[in-house]
């Protein structure tokens, strides 16, 4: 994974495209692999780092051209700010026709400036939504206006992304292309499974994902049900020790703390549950919901995830409830005592997630690049 992997023919008629992103993630790698098979594009993915500190992940095989920059970042709160100046030299070497950037780190802004200076096309890509960016400062919004005004197409992961771009005056009917966050739906569809757990929680064990809240919900639901609630917690992070300690103390819950779940193991883990809990304090999307829906689970979420309204639909395949242990526990207990509704919710989850596929997401990237470059459809 170095610059020696950069190979392309100067005689190739394919559109030369680069995407600059922080690091590869499991749900994007299969999309990149599909784009690499499209003969109309020659796409190279530039990564600031292979894996960010504090993140636990395992990646599928790479079947695409890629470059790994020299790591250069500083940590701020729960995220890292990347400043890879060597990206400029990589861009000069690759000479892309189109530059895609998926953020506003200095590294991404260098990509935007390269496109401006050399008359290339630029496309911003975001997982964010109108709601998720309301708290940004005027400086952050000013930078976005500057970048958007110099861009020729716009890629977003959701309807919320479309609304975000529209709020900046962009004609989304002409220039917006969707590239969903998605998983391999078929891999998670194992049928009903043994469903030995009432509840599954799968996420990083950090405060923003509220694993302790989920455990409290299970405990309170157990009181309403008059029986123990079996819960499976999958994930790793700084709250793992606190979760294990609380599990040993809480009443009415038989909980298993699995730890980090490898990609190969996730389908079997999800298919052991009946209801998926996602009490997030804020997610621009929430790919774990894709996994839960593909596994046929009913889902419960807070309103603070971009996936709400698309893959989590209140009353259709689950419930959307603000932070309130009592309300969550009541809804969970009601679901666990209504097998017919639980089955209907699970079937609806599978139906909703089918449109969120790797092929559709890859098409969004390709179509956006070709639109920006003025290629005929």
Look at residue 191 in the predicted model and tell me its pLDDT.
77
Helix (H, G, I), strand (E, B) or coil at 33: helix
Look at residue 78 in the predicted model and tell me its pLDDT.
66
**Phi, psi torsion values for 214, nearest 5 degrees:** -60, -40
Look at residue 257 in the predicted model and tell me its pLDDT.
96
Check: CB of residue 221 under 8 Å from CB of residue 254. no
Give which of 309, 320, 321 is closest to 352, Cα–Cα.
309
- The pLDDT tens digits along the chain (377 residues) read 444 344 333 444 799 999 999 999 988 999 999 999 999 999 999 999 988 776 667 788 999 999 999 999 888 766 788 999 999 999 999 999 999 999 999 999 999 999 999 999 999 999 988 888 888 899 999 999 999 999 999 999 999 999 999 999 999 999 999 999 999 999 999 876 678 999 999 999 999 999 999 999 999 999 999 999 999 999 999 999 999 999 999 999 999 999 999 988 999 999 999 999 999 999 999 999 999 999 999 999 999 999 999 999 999 999 999 999 999 999 999 999 999 999 999 999 999 999 999 999 999 999 999 999 998 65
Look at residue 51 in the predicted model and tell me its pLDDT.
84
Strands (DSSP E) found in the chain: 15-21, 41-47, 65-68, 73-76, 79-82, 98-101, 121-126, 154-156, 176-178, 199-202, 229-234, 253-259, 275-278, 298-301, 318-320
In DSSP notation, 41-62 reads: EEEEEEES-SS-TT-----PPP
Spatial separation of the C-alpha atoms in residues 368 and 238, rounded to whole Å:
39
Spatial separation of the C-alpha atoms in residues 53 and 73, rounded to whole Å:
10
């Amino acid at each position: 994974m170095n610059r020696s992997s950069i190979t392309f023919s100067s005689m190739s008629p394919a559109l030369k495209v680069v995407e600059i992103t922080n690091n590869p993630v499991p749900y994007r790698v299969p999309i990149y692999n599909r784009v690499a098979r499209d003969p109309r594009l020659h796409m190279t993915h530039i990564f600031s780092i292979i894996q960010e500190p504090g993140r636990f992940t395992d990646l599928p095989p790479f079947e695409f051209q890629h470059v790994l920059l020299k790591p250069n970042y500083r940590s701020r709160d729960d995220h890292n700010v990347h400043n890879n100046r060597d990206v400029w030299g990589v861009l000069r070497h690759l000479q892309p026709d189109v530059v895609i950037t998926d953020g506003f780190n200095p590294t991404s802004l260098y990509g935007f400036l390269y496109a401006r200076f050399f008359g290339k096309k630029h496309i911003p890509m975001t997982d964010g939504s109108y709601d998720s960016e309301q708290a940004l400062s005027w400086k952050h919004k000013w930078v976005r206006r500057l970048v958007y005004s110099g861009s020729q197409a716009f890629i977003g992961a959701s309807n919320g992304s479309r609304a975000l771009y529209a709020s900046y005056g962009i004609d989304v009917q002409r220039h917006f292309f969707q590239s969903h966050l998605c998983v391999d739906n078929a891999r998670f569809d194992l049928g009903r499974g043994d469903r030995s757990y009432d509840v599954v929680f799968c996420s990083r064990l950090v405060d923003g994902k509220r694993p302790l809240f989920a455990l409290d919900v299970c405990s309170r639901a157990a009181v309403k049900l008059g029986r123990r609630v079996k819960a499976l917690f999958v994930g790793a992070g700084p709250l793992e020790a606190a979760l294990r300690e609380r599990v040993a103390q809480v009443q009415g819950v038989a909980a298993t703390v699995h730890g980090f779940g490898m990609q190969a193991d996730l389908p079997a883990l999800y298919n052991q549950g009946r209801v998926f809990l996602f009490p997030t304090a804020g997610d621009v999307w929430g790919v774990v919901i894709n996994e839960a829906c593909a596994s046929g689970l009913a889902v419960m979420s807070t309103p603070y995830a971009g996936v709400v309204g698309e893959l989590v639909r209140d009353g259709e395949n689950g419930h959307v409830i603000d932070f309130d242990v009592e309300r969550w526990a009541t809804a969970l207990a009601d679901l666990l005592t209504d097998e017919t509704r639980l089955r209907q919710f699970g079937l609806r989850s599978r139906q909703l997630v089918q449109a969120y596929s790797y092929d559709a997401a890859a098409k969004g990237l390709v179509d956006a690049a070709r639109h920006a470059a003025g290629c005929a459809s």
